[in-house]
Amino acid sequence: MKLIKQIKLYFQEGTSDKVYEIDLCESGGGFLVNFRYGRRGATLKEGTKTIFPVDLQEANKVFDALEKEKRSKGYSTEGEPMGIVSKPVQGAKDNDRRKKAILKILKNAVDGDQPENWPLSRVFWRAGELNIHEAIPLIQKLTDLSDNISVYSAIWTIGKCGNSNSASFLKSLQQNHDYPQHVNDIISEALFRISDPAERKTAGEYLLATLPEHIKKLLLVGNYSGLHIQLKELLFKTQSTSNEYLSSLYRLSHDNRELKRILSRIINNVPLTYNYFKHIRHIFKMAEMWEDYETFGIITKNIDKHSPGPYSDKGAFSSKTKRYLSARVVRSLKRLGEVKSSSYKEMACGVLLAFDDSKDSKPSYHRSTYTYVYNKQTKRHDVIETKTYFEANAIYKAYNFILFQNSPRYSLGPSGWQCIEPYIPGNEAPLQREEAFPELWDTAANEVIKLLSCSRSLQVHEFALKVFKANPEFANQLTTENIVDILNAAFEITRKVGLEEAMKAYNSANPDTQLLIGMLQSPLEEASIQALQWIEEQKQVFISNSEFVTELIFLRNSFIQTKVRSLLISANIPDQQAEIVIGKILATIIQTEVRSEEDKLFISHTGQTMLDIFGNQLDFIGTDIIKDLLQHFSPEVHAIAGSILVHKKLNPELIPSELLQALLKSENEKARTAGIELLGRFPETSLIEKKELLISFCLSPLPDVRNAVKPIIANLTKAYPAFGNELIDLFVPAFLMKETYEGVHHDLLNLLITELSGSLSYINKNQGLLLLHSKFKSAQLLGAALLKMTIREEELSISEIVKISGNPNEEIRKYAWNYYNNNHLRIKENKEEALRIVDSDWEDTRNFAFDYFRNTFKQEDWSAENLIALCDSTRETVQNFGKEMITKSFKIEDGEEYLLKLSQHPDTRLQLFTSSYLETYAGDKPDVIEKLKLYFVTLLSQVNKGKVAKLRALDFLKKEAMKNETVAQTASEILNRASGSMAISEKAGCIDILRDIRKKYPSLHNFVKVVDYSEYVKK
């Protein structure tokens, strides 16, 4: 055989990777058409289309027919873009043929001729997928009421494409048969869908009654934000095991758009774990029946997103269930696409809209496989790494099928949609279309526009933009609302297309204000700049439009707000129009819900913008409007009300007291400040009558209130000095107590030393010193201010000055130091009191005192009592200073006094200092030694202390004892008492003295017994 021509075709889908080869060969006098097929890389099976040779024309005909057949099934040559060879969509005639075939099968079954290889339950389901309404009566006749699968499929189809004529059939199933719960649930769902409005309302009331009480109450009052919080609490915190209410809420949501919105957000976050999955699975099937592709898409995404649990129980989200449901969605999409159903576009759109890159994507990644190939040259195995790349959304089967079924860069592998070499994530995308069923998308203008407007997935936007640009006629269906949505899309590439369409749509002769507002709201800077340029070009036209001006003021973009404010301030809007615009602004503010911090900031900026533009045109605003603003739940709106009243320049006495009180009690600082400013405009005669209110503001827990009232207090005390004195009497005691609110003392201090400075003289010296020595810092600072401003130096005693020198505040301590430096004579006159400064708790004060007395006091200024008093301190530095001064100012006549008095001090350092006076002032003086008896006992009894002083004392006692028997008796008594606590090393000296005393004065009693040893034998 001679090969004439050959073609190799390939097919990839999921894990399937097949090859089909066709040969046309010359054989003898004719030609044969042979083929081979099988998995790529495996041994191929062979066959022939011509058992006997045929002529060339016939062989070519057979060859072409076989190639066409395989191409129609999705096969293509290697390298040929798959987008070119997408499976042709069958036309309306083929759809009619399918419907007729289904109906024929059902009619034959009614006549008793049931299909052998296709269960009727599958036929029922297929009829539902194709929306064959005519099949419903036949299905009702054929339903096997004893077969749960047959019943379930029949009900699903009736619910999807039936009508109220089937209600009696469903009710009979509901009433006469004991079916499993999932079958009963779908009966109720289908019956609810096909019922007339009256029956549906009754069924809804019944469903409402079955809900948990707290959920039912929230639904009845329309508290949807509370309902959302409650559902999150039940599902994600409490993690209730009984969640049947989810199915009921889903059924009710078809007639309640707000409930549907909340439920979609909840379903998107519900985990597919054991307690939840059976309810989510039921909602999933019901969503397909209702053709609710938003909910269907959310659950489809989550099926691929969530990992299966370790379950084998029926109804659990197991690996098998995950694979089945994921494949079932793709299969449904294929079937709808193949029959050219419009439902394909709707279902695909719902699936794609469920994706949010910020929540559902992960970074692109790759997986490596390694093979080992023996290298004969190196005689080692070489490791070959093969990388398989995956995009961010690779795990999502239906998503990728819709977007990339015909892509040359992706294919479905065992772990998801993987990149086909040489493409890797980040490479440039091909220009060609890659989606499944492109012909259907070419007729899907509404869906494509919706994707461009609402999708939050970049791949979806890239796909939708390709379709949009490939079908220029789609642009003709864009409304202004569509263009605005596209201008505010999630991705810049789409916003730019929105700007192109806006440029085409804008007509300066008849400008569309909604288009301009949309452009100004767009995150695309070029769009807002272009809109501002168009407005500037026809400024008067736009400014005369009150509705447009109002919308401009409510734009949220801060850059645009600034531009708008500048534009409108320079516009000089007439009073009549200003009234209309202001009325619209205030009406909108009153109706606005302020929830987030961003909302609070926005409403505040909006109010300020209104005041900047119309500050002189607010007089027409009545108190009823102000009252409405103050009744708003948002404190930021209260601030706007306060600012309006401030700008109006009203006689404050004409403002209703309840409005003023509402401002003063508002949680907003600006509102309270406005209230106090208005209060300050009252005549002084009226204000003095409200002094209790003013005093309460001074003590308010709110810092802004305390500060805002200060100017009023200042003005009022100037007019009524007695009021200032009254405030002094009231506030000064407050400094001596712990503050009730943080910052009250600080603000009162500023009030007293600034606004009430003229009344400070009302505080007497004793109160001032009490404040000065308080444990509270603000009280100390007030005392310091009084010390400088109202307390005269001559009023202060030396003891008070000494106490001031120990104040924690350095500035106050310096006041005392300066007093000493400026009043030498008075210090010397009161030196006993003045010397107490040296024992201050503050080191800087002690150091000042040491220097002061060293440099100021001469020898004659010191008395022994003064110096002994210094040495009596417990502080070492003060003792040292005392010893220093004794040494410098020593008088011989005071020596004995120093000895006797300093000897009484327990400190070892002073004991040592005293020991130096023993020889001079106690020698040969038995009476003095007797007086020092306690000194010697104390000194000698100390363990491991005062070694030098002890040696001096023992030496002194020994010498004096040898001179005088009376002293010897005293010394014996001292040593007898002290020896009991002496260290062993010190007892020898003590025993030596006692021995000598015993020898010299045998008649004196002591504890030492002298024994002479006549023999001493060393062993």
d(CA 295, CA 367): 33
CA atoms within 13 A on the CB side of 248: 17
**Lowest mean per-residue pLDDT among 353-357, 710-714, 818-822, 943-947:** 943-947
Q: Take residue 783 and report the two structure tokens written for it.
A: 């005392």
pTM, 2 dp: 0.65
DSSP labels, 178-240: ---HHHHHHHHHHHHHHS-HHHHHHHHHHHHHHS-HHHHHHHHHT-HHHHHHHHHIIIIII--
Q: Take residue 77 and report the two structure tokens written for it.
A: 């040559």
Q: Take residue 462 and report the two structure tokens written for it.
A: 């890239």
- Count CB neighbours of 300 within 10 A: 29
C-alpha distance from residue 381 to each of 371, 378, 386 (Å): 9, 8, 16
In a domain, 488, yes or no: yes
In the numeric block, the tokens 């034959």 are attached to 108
pLDDT at 613: 92
pLDDT at 266: 93
Which of 860, 890, 920 represents a domain boundary (last residue)? 890
Question: In the predicted model, is pLDDT for residue 91 greater than 60?
Answer: no
d(CA 886, CA 898): 9
Taking a C-beta distance cutoff of 8 angstroms, is the pair 294, 264 a contact?
yes
Which CATH number does the domain housing residue 26 bear? 2.20.140
Question: In the predicted model, is pLDDT for residue 876 greater than 80?
Answer: yes
> Are residues 504 and 573 located together in one domain of the fold?
no
pLDDT in tens, 955-1004: 898 898 898 888 889 888 888 888 777 777 778 888 888 888 888 888 88
> Are residues 498 and 600 located together in one domain of the fold?
no
Interhelix angle 876-888/908-915, rounded to 10 degrees, is 20
Query: Nearest 5 degrees, angle CA 679-CA 716-CA 726?
Result: 115
Q: What average pLDDT is seen over the chain?
A: 88
| 422 prior amide bond cis, ω within 30 | yes
Q: How confident is the model at residue 558 (pLDDT cuts 50, 70, 90)?
A: confident
Q: What percent of the chain has pLDDT over 70?
A: 96
Q: How confident is the model at residue 1017 (pLDDT cuts 50, 70, 90)?
A: low
d(CA 543, CA 613): 13
In a domain, 920, yes or no: no
pLDDT at 798: 93
Which of 616, 647, 682 represents a domain boundary (last residue)? 682
> Are residues 496 and 551 located together in one domain of the fold?
no
> Are residues 65 and 186 located together in one domain of the fold?
no
d(CA 242, CA 228): 18
pLDDT in tens, 146-200: 888 999 999 999 998 888 888 889 888 888 778 888 888 888 889 998 888 888 8
Residue type at 651? N
Residue type at 738? K
In a domain, 470, yes or no: no
d(CA 268, CA 253): 15
Query: Nearest 5 degrees, angle CA 125-CA 130-CA 134?
Result: 85
Of the candidates 961, 982, 975, the residue with the CA atom closest to the CA atom of residue 1006: 975
Q: How confident is the model at residue 888 (pLDDT cuts 50, 70, 90)?
A: confident
CA–chain centroid gap for 611, Å, is: 33
Q: Which residue has the higher pLDDT, 311 or 464?
A: 464
Q: Which of 231-240, 483-492, 713-722, 961-970 has the highest mean pLDDT?
A: 483-492
pLDDT at 90: 46
pLDDT at 997: 86
> Are residues 580 and 642 located together in one domain of the fold?
yes
In the numeric block, the tokens 């719902």 are attached to 350
d(CA 391, CA 749): 66
Q: SS3 of 494, please?
A: helix
> Are residues 40 and 166 located together in one domain of the fold?
no
d(CA 856, CA 559): 72
Burial class, 706, CB count within 10 angstroms (exposed 0-12 / middle 13-18 / buried 19+): buried
> Are residues 807 and 836 located together in one domain of the fold?
yes
In a domain, 317, yes or no: no
pLDDT in tens, 195-250: 888 888 898 998 899 899 999 999 999 999 899 999 988 888 876 667 888 999 99
Q: Take residue 60 and report the two structure tokens written for it.
A: 């070519």
> Are residues 830 and 884 located together in one domain of the fold?
yes
Question: In the predicted model, is pLDDT for residue 81 greater than 60?
Answer: no
In a domain, 44, yes or no: yes
> Are residues 527 and 562 located together in one domain of the fold?
no
d(CA 813, CA 818): 9
Residue 142 is part of which domain span?
A: 119-195
Question: In the predicted model, is pLDDT for residue 88 greater than 70?
Answer: no
Q: Which residue has the higher pLDDT, 88 or 12?
A: 12
d(CA 624, CA 332): 61
In a domain, 1003, yes or no: no
Which of 45, 73, 101 represents a domain boundary (last residue)? 73
> Are residues 567 and 678 located together in one domain of the fold?
yes
In a domain, 6, yes or no: yes
d(CA 485, CA 462): 16
Taking a C-beta distance cutoff of 8 angstroms, is the pair 388, 412 a contact?
no
pLDDT at 199: 87
How many domains does the chain fold into? 5
> Are residues 551 and 668 located together in one domain of the fold?
yes
pLDDT in tens, 675-697: 888 888 888 888 888 888 888 88
Q: Which residue has the higher pLDDT, 328 or 76?
A: 328
Three-state helix/strand/coil letters over 45-90: EEEECCCCCECHHHHHHHHHHHHHHHHHCCCECCCCCHHHHCCCCC
In a domain, 15, yes or no: yes
pLDDT at 85: 37
pLDDT at 313: 57
pLDDT in tens, 289-308: 999 999 999 999 999 999 99
Of the candidates 85, 87, 94, 147, the residue with the CA atom closest to the CA atom of residue 122: 147
pLDDT at 261: 93
Q: SS3 of 842, please?
A: coil
Dihedral of CA atoms 158, 160, 161, 164 in degrees, nearest 10, equals 60
Q: How confident is the model at residue 535 (pLDDT cuts 50, 70, 90)?
A: very high
Q: Which of 242-246, 456-460, 652-656, 733-737 has the highest mean pLDDT?
A: 456-460
Q: What's phi and psi for 850, nearest 5 deg?
A: -60, -50
Per-residue pLDDT, averaged over 272-278, amounts to 86
d(CA 160, CA 237): 36
d(CA 215, CA 229): 10
Of the candidates 215, 134, 144, 220, the residue with the CA atom closest to the CA atom of residue 177: 144
> Are residues 820 and 874 located together in one domain of the fold?
yes
Taking a C-beta distance cutoff of 8 angstroms, is the pair 547, 512 a contact?
no
d(CA 720, CA 694): 14
pLDDT at 1005: 75
Taking a C-beta distance cutoff of 8 angstroms, is the pair 72, 57 a contact?
no
